[in-house]
């Protein structure tokens, strides 16, 4: 069923990598039941980041954002499952960690909107765009998780 194959793009930002929170973030998506279908660590180029954040190019914080996101390696991931985009955003919390509830990733692990440790797609449409920006088709895995019939 197509709805069980919804995919979202999640990225651990340079501060999440530097602060040693990679495992915590992966763990939350993994134990929730989403299926990891793509993952890599990379130093994102400015061109990639400008495409990724194209919608925000007129915002005053855009140069700071590009600088922040290119300040070190990131961990790029694709997670799959029913409602992965919307539920992924709920798991992240609000853009500003100060507005994020405890129990969310941003609510639990960071303080400042300019250092909010993780990215998640905000719609299925932007997820598809972001996945194709960050991953080649052959970097996305097709496999059956043994947990599938215990989740759905
Ligand atoms: N006012 C701000 N000051 C500094 N950085 C910001 C600000 N607003 C947003 N950002 C940064 O830009 C990223 C993208 O913004 P946005 O798409 O609005 O949020 P989200 O990441 O929650 O989808 C945020 O995650 C954050 O890193
Ligand atoms: Mg966004």
Which protein residue's CA is at the shortest distance from atom 5 of ligand 1? 114
pLDDT at 79 over 90: yes
Q: How far apart are CA 147 and CA 145, in angstroms?
A: 5
Listed by start position, the domains of the chain span 2-140
pLDDT > 90 fraction of the chain, expressed in percent and rounded: 99
* pLDDT for 1: 82
**Domain 2-140: CATH architecture, name and number where available:** 2-Layer Sandwich (3.30)
- Indicate whether 68 pLDDT > 90: yes
| Cα 53 to ligand 1 centroid, rounded to whole Å | 10
Side-by-side strand order, sheet with 118-120 = 35-42, 74-80, 7-12, 118-120
Measure 149 CA to ligand 2 centroid, in angstroms: 32
**Which residues are annotated binding-site positions?**
13, 61, 89, 95, 106, 116
Q: How far is the CA of 137 from the centre of ligand 1 (A)?
A: 28
Confidence of residue 15 (pLDDT cuts 50, 70, 90): very high
CB 114 within 8 A of CB 68: yes
| Contact of 25 with 12, CB cutoff 8 Å | yes
Instruction: State the residue for tokens 């061109």.
Output: 47
Ligand 1 pocket at CB < 6 A: 56, 61, 64-65, 95, 113-114, 116, 119, 122
């Amino acid at each position: 069923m197509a709805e069980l194959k919804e995919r979202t793009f999640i990225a651990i930002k340079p501060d999440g990598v530097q602060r040693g929170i990679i495992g915590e973030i992966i763990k939350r998506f993994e134990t929730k039941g989403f299926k990891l279908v793509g993952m890599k660590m990379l130093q994102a180029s400015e061109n990639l980041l400008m495409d990724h954040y194209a919608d925000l190019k007129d915002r005053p914080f855009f140069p700071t954002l590009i600088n922040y996101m290119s300040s070190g390696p990131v961990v790029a991931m694709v997670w799959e499952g029913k409602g992965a985009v919307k539920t992924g955003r709920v798991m992240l919390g609000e853009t500003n960690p100060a507005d994020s509830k405890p129990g969310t990733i941003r609510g639990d692990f960071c303080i400042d909107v300019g250092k909010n440790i993780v990215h998640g797609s905000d719609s299925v449409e932007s997820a598809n765009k972001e996945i194709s920006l960050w991953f080649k088709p052959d970097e996305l895995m097709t496999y059956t998780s043994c947990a599938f019939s215990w989740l759905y």
